[in-house]
Amino acid sequence: MRIHTLSASTKPWYRRPRATTRPADFPTLLATTVATLHSAAAHAPCVLASSLSAEDMVLFHLVQREQLAISSFALDTGRLPKATLELWTTAEAHYGATIERVTPVSARLAELEATQSESAIYETKAARELCCTVRKTEPLRAALAGKRAWVTGLRRAQSAGRASVPHHEHDASFGLEKFNPLADWDDDALWYFIDLEQVPVSSLYDKGYASIGCDPCTRPIRFDEHPRAGRWWWEAAVSGTATECGIHVAHKPSDAKAHQTTGVSA
């Protein structure tokens, strides 16, 4: 079940930036990103956790270009938009590289489906958090087991909650090093590089989407809305603040069992 409700408006839909000139600080940004990726690769085994977002496609592109020893995987939650699945196939063919498919545990999915209906995520935050836990957080934790480091596409410009994202930090939740090579990239830098290097990205960015997750939890936005306004928007309408699935929210290692069974804080 998918609910996309927007108030009546004549404002145009979001369209992704198309930078026609190079941002002034771009060479420095790119050099820092490449250096961060090389540092991440030195912490072998290291993996890029991709959602097939524009950010993650830039990182996947650079990993292949620099021939770095960083493998890649993406979470197939069972609820991904068709465009994301199509991009997955396109990206692997374009680069001749594999993005490992990580899926939820079948038994946990069965428990989830027996516990709540698909529409329950719109009714209570606890139901939505449980869905995110089973489909995203638990598979991610399993995929990161045995790794020394992981790479993400987090950027400070994405939301207020990510405004202090560093290039490198120790992730106590997963017990490994976490690298965010695009931390200081703004939208213009991101899309300038995508157009310059012809990086394949989701077709949804040209259809009003600025941030793309699972299909039931993602909607297009108007041009003046926050980039993440289309993610779990029904919760933000109640709380007045943006929310997250929980993957990038810090937790103590001792809390892991609780996250896997009761959900994580968004």
Q: What pLDDT was estimated at residue 226?
A: 85
pLDDT category of residue 243 using cuts at 50, 70 and 90: low
Quick one: tokens of 23?
């941002």
User: What tens digit of pLDDT does each residue of 20-76 get?
Assistant: 899 999 999 999 999 999 999 999 999 999 999 999 999 999 999 999 999 999 999
Q: What pLDDT was estimated at residue 247?
A: 53
Range of the domain at 168: 26-262
Q: Is residue 12 part of a domain?
A: no
d(CA 133, CA 112): 10
Catalytic residue among 131, 132, 217, 245, which? 245
User: What tens digit of pLDDT does each residue of 77-106 get?
Assistant: 999 999 999 999 999 999 999 999 999 999
Q: Is residue 5 part of a domain?
A: no
Of 226, 212, 225, give the one whose Cα is nearest residue 11: 225
Q: What pLDDT was estimated at residue 11?
A: 81
User: What tens digit of pLDDT does each residue of 163-190 get?
Assistant: 679 999 999 999 999 999 999 999 999 9
Q: What pLDDT was estimated at residue 9?
A: 56
- Judged against a pLDDT cut of 50, whether residue 264 lies above it is answered with no
Higher-confidence residue of 249 and 19: namely 19
Name the domain count of the chain.
1
61 three-state secondary structure? helix
Percentage of the chain with pLDDT > 90? 74
- Judged against a pLDDT cut of 50, whether residue 213 lies above it is answered with yes
AA letter at 166: P
- Judged against a pLDDT cut of 90, whether residue 108 lies above it is answered with yes
Of 86, 80, 127, give the one whose Cα is nearest residue 103: 80
Mark out the alpha helices in the chain (DSSP H runs).
Answer: 26-41, 54-65, 82-95, 106-115, 125-132, 138-144, 187-197, 233-239, 256-262
Q: CB–CB of 34/70 below 8 Å? A: no
Higher-confidence residue of 226 and 121: namely 121
Q: Is residue 16 part of a domain?
A: no
104 three-state secondary structure? coil
AA letter at 156: R
Burial label, 116 (beta-carbon count in 10 A; 0-12, 13-18, 19+): middle
CATH number for position 180: 3.40.50.620
Q: What pLDDT was estimated at residue 257?
A: 34
User: What tens digit of pLDDT does each residue of 133-157 get?
Assistant: 999 999 999 999 999 999 999 998 8
β partners of residue 75 = 102
Let me know if 245 is a catalytic residue.
yes
Q: Is residue 11 part of a domain?
A: no
- Judged against a pLDDT cut of 50, whether residue 261 lies above it is answered with no
What does the CA dihedral 30, 32, 34, 39 come to, rounded to 10 degrees? -170
Q: Is residue 2 part of a domain?
A: no
Higher-confidence residue of 242 and 210: namely 210
d(CA 84, CA 73): 14
pLDDT category of residue 253 using cuts at 50, 70 and 90: very low
Q: What is the mean pLDDT of residues 234-261?
A: 49
List all residues 6 or more positions away from 168 whose beta carbon is below 8 Å from its beta carbon. 36, 39, 40, 177, 178, 179, 180
